[in-house]
Chain A
């Protein structure tokens, strides 16, 4: 992909956040159509490379809300939560900035390339402080400082106890950015880091939109069941004492009408996300 150098970035007011860093990047390179407006209101969505099902549900829940509030999603273009945040953002028509952990001239392949093209097409940017630099162990933490500096707020979705996302979180705190962490099950290893951030008071608890206590008004018995928890077709059939063939047919119809979502054999209520 074609890239350009961002001349005199220090003079762009939207990028002054980067000057908060003790070691601001010397140069900046980007792919896409540069419009400083994109940095007007950035929110970092970062997390583990090893995203769990829960992590992906969280991303699906928070990213559309942020886009709705006209925020730019900024993240680190690494598989797991980062890439999924970019992906979800693009899918919902939002703008996103991907800060690369390697030089901008690195050739992307496969899924990476597809996602990068989509980001650019939807008005987003790929950003890097290097022109030619191989990805290696020190480039990722370096990239994290830019993510933290560009963001006005940072949300950590999922992070293990030793995770790159915690580096971002630490820098964000140092730069006095508002830090949020999504609570997770205390049994999950990939939520230890985020839970710890909350427990130690370093991050605020992110609950998304205030958990509304909407009364279950669903007429459909299947929807009423799914309102309480996500279930597979077998369990629904068992609970409603109906043949699984009929339940399956009804689920397909609900799926087609967009009232429920399916993932890994389980059904979720669509408007709960």
Chain B
């Protein structure tokens, strides 16, 4: 008898329907084979399925069993086909009658089996949910209980959290039905995470804090420059606390990536706060951009709609840094491997921290720099022009002289808490949403504006324009830095709730011009 069970294969963020066809022949020598470009993990499903069936107190039929994963020319990987294969064997061998209330053409099965028959956490459940919703209205999906929460935010499908193969069998025989998971609305899931550092905890560095707020508001890339121990890392750790919460569609977009990467914790339904990724500088190209024979998302994609923080940026391998160019320009990254061609979204805000020289003490008021001229030039050259060109804000984080901080007297004008900053950021993001609502492509922040958008949305007052012209003459700006300056000034004007860009906004933007 032949049974056809529906499942899916995930290639990057795309899902492809897979038919798991199981045939148990009446005649022939006993055997169990899987065809359809199965990888090693799928091949090994034979052993897992066989043992899981036996350990669930069911019979593994001593007959000729053939499993085909169709379409046959698409390579399949992962252990998620264990469940459909096991179910297929049970149905095709006639041990398990198909109840009338279950329609196999409207059901999806997905999950890895352990030897005792329980289902293990499996990645990509959210993608299965979204695929089922799109392709088969009213579909039911049977997925491991631990990972089932991922799909609970998908509307219009029934999610069956399955503990084990035995439980699934009882559901089929009608002995004890599985209770479907309650659908969750996305909004109830987004909550605020605990903040690691509050802005008000960081002593001094008023200008850097201001730059952080501007970066968070307008999605501008930021580079912090200064000797060690001045609070560059601390400042960047405070950033997640002032980032605006994810909108519903954004949360779903981020969760999809994390689902594919298998990075959702069991029971987690959604990634609720903006990602903050800070890879170590030993990261490989594939780790940063994404890779593997079946390409998985890299750090740039995991930081999608969030922040990618590169501490000690010049220590990163040159090729890794140059690899950032495409995602920084397009907001997506395309990975090509023998197995296929995958496109992941990668629209992130880059925050970089660098020392002024290899020893770190160049320009330090008290300590002496021990680097030679050549060493310093070489160190600076590790970050290429094209990368620097894509950074909007440059800020010097200089040494805080404790005695000058006067911690005892409160200077209320310059202390800002993360909570206040977050309110400002949310306000500015709303203004931007309003501004770009008629845009012909998805535009979220000022930093994503192209030159044509800049001309349309950035109204300069005549004085501001005059100031800009003076600055261009004095500092020899390129065309790209010219537009970059206007974009930053736009965000500053938004922070001050000004429709027009006034000279003071332009003047402040000039504070963050390129310094390398």
Task: Give complex CA distance A53, B210 in Å.
Answer: 27
Residues of A within 8 A of B474 (CB): 255-256
Residues of B within 8 A of A79 (CB): 373
User: Is A22 positioned at the interface, with any CB of B under 8 Å from its CB?
Assistant: no
Assuming the contacts A189-B368, A237-B414, A265-B396, asked whether A248 and B470 have C-beta atoms less than 8 A apart, the reply is no
Interface of chain A residues 219 through 255 with chain B (CB within 8 A): 232-235, 237-238, 241-246, 248-253, 255
Residues of B within 8 A of A201 (CB): none
Task: Give complex CA distance A265, B205 in Å.
Answer: 12
Residue among B204, B209, B373 making CB contact with A49, cutoff 8 Å: B373
Chain A binding site: helix, strand, loop or mixed by DSSP? helix
Interface size class of A (residues with CB under 8 A): 20 to 34
User: Is B384 positioned at the interface, with any CB of A under 8 Å from its CB?
Assistant: no
Residues of A within 8 A of B210 (CB): 244-245, 248
User: Is B122 positioned at the interface, with any CB of A under 8 Å from its CB?
Assistant: no
Chain B residue at minimum C-beta to C-beta distance from A266: B398
**Are A244 and B206 in contact (CB-based, < 8 A)?**
yes
Task: Give complex CA distance A255, B467 in Å.
Answer: 11
**Are A234 and B398 in contact (CB-based, < 8 A)?**
yes
**Are A241 and B411 in contact (CB-based, < 8 A)?**
yes
Assuming the contacts A248-B210, A256-B470, asked whether A53 and B363 have C-beta atoms less than 8 A apart, the reply is yes
Assuming the contacts A234-B205, A245-B492, A264-B363, asked whether A252 and B398 have C-beta atoms less than 8 A apart, the reply is no
**Are A249 and B414 in contact (CB-based, < 8 A)?**
no
A residues near B (Cβ < 8 Å) are: 49-50, 52-53, 79-80, 188-189, 232-235, 237-238, 241-246, 248-253, 255-256, 264-266
User: Is B404 positioned at the interface, with any CB of A under 8 Å from its CB?
Assistant: yes
**Are B507 and A252 in contact (CB-based, < 8 A)?**
yes
Residues of A within 8 A of B406 (CB): 238
Q: List 19 interface pairs A-B (beta carbons < 8 Å), by A numbering.
A: A49-B372, A52-B368, A52-B369, A79-B373, A232-B396, A233-B207, A237-B207, A243-B413, A244-B207, A244-B209, A245-B492, A245-B508, A249-B505, A252-B508, A253-B507, A255-B510, A256-B471, A264-B362, A264-B396
User: Is B511 positioned at the interface, with any CB of A under 8 Å from its CB?
Assistant: yes
Residues of B within 8 A of A248 (CB): 207, 210, 507-508, 511
Q: Which of B209, B404, B474, B511: most chain A Cβ within 10 A?
A: B511
User: Is B504 positioned at the interface, with any CB of A under 8 Å from its CB?
Assistant: yes
**Are A241 and B206 in contact (CB-based, < 8 A)?**
no
Assuming the contacts A189-B368, A238-B414, A264-B363, asked whether A251 and B511 have C-beta atoms less than 8 A apart, the reply is yes
Chain A residue at minimum C-beta to C-beta distance from B226: A265
Residue among A50, A80, A250 making CB contact with B507, cutoff 8 Å: A250
Residues of B within 8 A of A251 (CB): 511
Q: Which of A246, A250, A252: most chain B Cβ within 10 A?
A: A252
Residues of B within 8 A of A249 (CB): 504-505, 507-508, 511
Residues of B within 8 A of A189 (CB): 368
Assuming the contacts A249-B507, A252-B510, asked whether A238 and B363 have C-beta atoms less than 8 A apart, the reply is no
Return B516 CB to nearest CB of chain A, in Å: 12
Chain A residue at minimum C-beta to C-beta distance from B362: A264
Interface of chain B residues 393 through 437 with chain A (CB within 8 A): 396, 398, 404-406, 411, 413-414
Residues of B within 8 A of A232 (CB): 207, 396, 398
Residues of A within 8 A of B505 (CB): 249
Chain B residue at minimum C-beta to C-beta distance from A50: B372
Return A229 CB to nearest CB of chain B, in Å: 11
Residues of A within 8 A of B373 (CB): 49-50, 79-80
**Are B504 and A237 in contact (CB-based, < 8 A)?**
no
Interface of chain B residues 458 through 500 with chain A (CB within 8 A): 467, 470-471, 474, 492
Residues of B within 8 A of A252 (CB): 471, 507-508, 510-511
Task: Give complex CA distance A233, B467 in Å.
Answer: 20
**Are B368 and A233 in contact (CB-based, < 8 A)?**
no
Residue among A244, A250, A253 making CB contact with B414, cutoff 8 Å: A244
Chain A residue at minimum C-beta to C-beta distance from B508: A249
Chain A residue at minimum C-beta to C-beta distance from B513: A252
Task: Give complex CA distance A266, B363 in Å.
Answer: 10
Residues of B within 8 A of A265 (CB): 226, 363, 396, 398
Assuming the contacts A243-B413, A264-B396, asked whether A256 and B467 have C-beta atoms less than 8 A apart, the reply is yes
**Are A234 and B206 in contact (CB-based, < 8 A)?**
yes
Residues of A within 8 A of B404 (CB): 235, 238
Return B21 CB to nearest CB of chain A, in Å: 66
Task: Give complex CA distance A52, B411 in Å.
Answer: 34
Residues of B within 8 A of A241 (CB): 411, 413
Return B107 CB to nearest CB of chain A, in Å: 59
Return B432 CB to nearest CB of chain A, in Å: 19
Query: Closest 5 CB pairs between A and B?
Result: A265-B396, A249-B507, A244-B206, A252-B510, A248-B511
Chain A residue at minimum C-beta to C-beta distance from B371: A50
Q: Which of B207, B471, B504: most chain A Cβ within 10 A?
A: B207
**Are A246 and B396 in contact (CB-based, < 8 A)?**
no
Task: Give complex CA distance A80, B204 in Å.
Answer: 33
Q: Which of B356, B368, B492: most chain A Cβ within 10 A?
A: B368
Task: Give complex CA distance A79, B376 in Å.
Answer: 13
**Are B508 and A188 in contact (CB-based, < 8 A)?**
no
Task: Give complex CA distance A234, B204 in Å.
Answer: 7
Task: Give complex CA distance A266, B406 in Å.
Answer: 20
Return B417 CB to nearest CB of chain A, in Å: 15
Residues of A within 8 A of B405 (CB): 238
